[in-house]
Amino acid sequence: MSIRELGSSRVSVNLFTFCLFLSCFPGLILSAIVTLDSIVIYNTHELIKAVKPRVYFECRGENKTEFPDVKEKNVTYKFNGEESWQPLTEFSGKKCKRCGLYEADTFKPDDKFDEWELCPSDFNASDGKYVRFNNKEFNLTFWCPKCVPGSPASNSPTAPHKEEKEKGMHIVLILLIVVAVLAFCIVVGFVAYKYWQKKKREHDQARFLKLFEDGDDIEDEMGLDHII
């Protein structure tokens, strides 16, 4: 086993351990997608009124999400979250994102309907919806069911004891996994070291025999065997 193969096996083991850790502690990382439930635009910024607007949503550092169906003012467009351009964004923690609604332009910079801090805590309604309203520009309704804080089960009297018990079991499981991985790494390292020692001995023996063969060839060339 080469050093490169040994390193690859250790990387695979570490990745496997990390995945198991995340599966045992899903509450440590929030993964919640945000979709568009409905939108109404009250104004467009096109100089030529006959030109249909190209409205899109974007969070800073992420890709634009254009709404291909939104073309008319004062029309309510509703969506089910299964459209090809959904979701709009995804939260991987409790940190907010700087997002906005824009209108694309061809010959000048894109127009801005509004920009704001979109946070998981905004989705505090029981249905997981958040409404962003600008009386002169738009009315947006976002949906993020996994952003809703708490649940009915978490408010029950037995919930804290159940969570503590599950947390203790998770910790024990993680410790067992860590011990197993460490033992596996030690065994792999020991086997690799023994294999390297064996290969080194074989290499030294082959080199030693080659030196003898080279010495015999030199004696034959110089005729030393006849002199003796």
Q: Any idea what the CATH number is for the domain that residue 134 is in?
A: 2.60.40
State whether 92 and 165 are in the same domain: no
Query: Which 3-state string (H, E, C) describes 113-177?
Result: EEEEEECHHHCCCCCCEEEEEECCCEEEEEECHHHCCCCHHHHCCCHHHHHHHHHHHHHHHHHHH
- The pLDDT score that the predictor gives to residue 61 is 94
What's the whole-model pTM score?
Answer: 0.53
Q: How many domains does the chain have?
A: 2
* pLDDT computed for residue 204 by the predictor: 85
- pLDDT attached to residue 171: 87
- Could you give the CA distance from residue 145 to residue 5 in angstroms, rounded to a whole number? 44
Which among 105, 102, 101, 114 is positioned nearest to 48, based on CA atoms?
105
Determine the structural domain holding residue 174 and report its residue range: 3-25+159-221
Domain shared by 35 and 148, yes or no = yes
Q: Do both 55 and 108 map to the same domain?
A: yes
pLDDT of 14: 54
Of 152, 185, 208, which one is at a domain's C-terminal end? 152
Which stretches of the chain score pLDDT less than 70? 1-30, 47, 49, 150-167, 214-228
In the prediction, which pLDDT does 162 show? Answer: 52
- Is the same domain home to 103 and 16? no
Q: Is residue 142 located within the same domain as residue 91? A: yes
Residues 217 and 115 in one domain: no
- Judged by DSSP in three states, 31 sits in coil
Same domain, 44 and 14: no
pLDDT at 217: 62
> What pLDDT sits at residue 2?
52
